[in-house]
Amino acid sequence: MPIKISTNDDLVLTKAFQDLLSKCRLPGDASHSLPPACYGSLSVLEAEIETIFRRTWLGIGRADCVNAPGAYATLEIASASIILLRDTQQALRAFANTCRHRGARLLEGEGVCRAISCPFHRWTYRLDGSLAGAPHMEATKDFEKTDYGLIEFPVAERAGFAFIFLDSTPPDLDAYLGDFEQLHTPWPLRSLVSTRHQRFEVGCNWKAFLEVFNEYYHLKFVHPNTIDGIYGLPDPADTTVGAYASQYGQTNGTGALLDDEQGHALPLIPGLEKRCANGARYTWVFPNMTFAAGKDALWVYEAYPLGPERCKVRQTICFPPETVALSNFGDRAAYYYRRLDAALEEDIEALENQQKGLASPFAIPGRFSTLMEPNVATFANWYAQRFQATI
Ligand code: FES
Ligand SMILES: [Fe+2]
């Protein structure tokens, strides 16, 4: 069933645009990069919201960002504010952040609550979303509190990550993820503990942020004095089944510390063996979550569009519980946080420059290095397929 695109600009429906998308779907070494309009056009963003953000499972970071009854975090997912919380039974739940009375926003940021209480007229919802209290509504005809619970969305946890589907009838998540959990078996992802979250905005399209994290090509040129010395040439990309791409590469030390601070390395993640004990796996779970599973830490990014040329990013870093329990963990983890901040600052400068170049009226699609940026090519293929299947 074609999806109606609510825009006056029907760029995404033109044959020229569709032809460019078809070139992204050519196999492996023949594929082209996404059309530059995908990084700056409002009509493309509106189509992405319809065809991707409202139609696929979305990775929304580590499930332990809400880890006790009443703990909540709000997320802005492609113009929809969502409340993610743990209910009294420790189940993960997700609700639209909009009151069922007259629509006020219910919660901001993150925190812990016993109930969700609207700041406007104090309608109050239980942690399962049901309406518990609505003052002065006794005389309202046919008003039943059971009819006015919060709008709820399907959520699930896999490998310690949370996933949401922003509609009522999700496809099977395990079929969507394919062999994702199997490929990551060497890393005990489920048990890793989040120790720092950051949120920030970047002046680039959401896809560009995820792309730069997933390619080795820029390391030598964007990070020559911070992290390039750790990374060698990566392995060829893994062949994956499911909506993700992954590439492993060996490292000379840990990719989670700066080149000149390797002496501060924390212990190996328990259970890692052989090649996995000396490298990092870079994985992109389509569309908007990516992470690196290193030898000592896991670092995760989600990118959410704020507009065609601006995105909001959430960063999380995790360690094994044994590492977090070390007496000097805080001091040693600070070196890891510094490495993330340093590389990020360099990436943001590169991304904001790329965004300016993509805005040129003369920008046209390019080609990929099959060894250095296969995850980016696999995403372009997946994205083009989603677009063409649903428009
Ligand atoms: S809008 Fe929430 S109680 Fe009125
Ligand atoms: Fe980078």
Going from the Cα of 195 to the center of ligand 2, the distance in angstroms, rounded, reads 22
Cα dihedral 175, 192, 52, 11 in deg (nearest 10) = -140
- Tell me which residue of 375, 217, 285, 228 sits closest to 61, measured CA to CA: 285
Going from the Cα of 154 to the center of ligand 1, the distance in angstroms, rounded, reads 24
* Lookup result for tokens 């007229």: 121
Q: Is the CB of 105 under 6 A from ligand 1?
A: no
Paired residues of 157 in beta bridges: 162
Residue-level pLDDT at 9: 55
Cα 374–Cα 376–Cα 379 angle in degrees, nearest 5: 110
Q: For 70-102, how does the pLDDT look when each residue is reduced to its tens digit (9 = 90+)?
A: 999 999 999 999 999 999 999 999 999 999 999
Contact status, residue 383 vs residue 207, Cβ threshold 8 Å: yes
Here the tokens at position 8 are 């006056």
How does pLDDT run along the chain (391 residues), one tens digit per residue? 334 444 445 777 788 999 999 999 998 789 999 999 999 999 999 999 999 999 999 999 999 999 999 999 999 999 999 999 999 999 999 999 999 999 999 999 999 999 999 999 999 999 999 999 999 999 999 999 999 999 999 999 999 999 999 998 999 999 999 999 999 999 999 999 999 999 999 999 999 999 999 999 999 999 999 999 999 999 999 999 999 999 999 999 999 999 999 999 999 999 999 999 999 999 999 999 999 999 999 999 999 999 999 999 999 999 999 999 999 999 999 999 999 999 999 999 999 999 999 999 999 999 999 999 999 999 999 999 998 887 6
Here the tokens at position 218 are 């820029």
Residue-level pLDDT at 250: 96
Closest ligand to C-alpha of residue 118 is: 1
Q: For 226-249, how does the pLDDT look when each residue is reduced to its tens digit (9 = 90+)?
A: 999 999 999 999 999 999 999 999
Residue 224, preceding peptide bond in cis (omega within 30° of 0): no
Here the tokens at position 200 are 């920030």
Which amino acid does the sequence have at 279? G
Q: Strand 116-117's sheet: what is its strand order? A: 116-117, 124-125, 131-133
Alpha carbons within 13 A on the beta-carbon side of 110: 17
CA–CA separation, 67 and 319 (whole Å): 16
Please provide residue 160's backbone torsions phi and psi, each rounded to the nearest 5 degrees.
80, 0
Question: How far does Cα 15 stand from its chain's mean position?
Answer: 31
Residue-level pLDDT at 10: 72
Residue-level pLDDT at 29: 87
| CA of 99, closest atom in ligand 1 | 2
- For 270, counting Cβ atoms within 10 Å of its Cβ (0-12 exposed, 13-18 middle, 19+ buried), the class is exposed
Q: Is the CB of 101 under 6 A from ligand 1?
A: yes
Q: Is the CB of 123 under 6 A from ligand 1?
A: yes
Q: Going by CA atoms, what residue is nearest to atom 4 of ligand 1?
A: 121
Residue-level pLDDT at 391: 67
Give the contacts of 15 (CB within 8 A, at least 6 positions apart): none
- Tell me which residue of 287, 45, 54 sits closest to 169, measured CA to CA: 54
Ordered by where they begin, the domains of the chain are: 58-170 (2.102.10.10), 190-390 (3.90.380.10)
CA–CA separation, 339 and 261 (whole Å): 9
Residue-level pLDDT at 1: 36
Q: Is the CB of 133 under 6 A from ligand 1?
A: no
Residue-level pLDDT at 8: 42
- The residue to mutate among 83, 99, 116, 125, having the most atoms of ligand 1 within 8 angstroms of its beta carbon, is 99
Q: Is the CB of 99 under 6 A from ligand 1?
A: yes
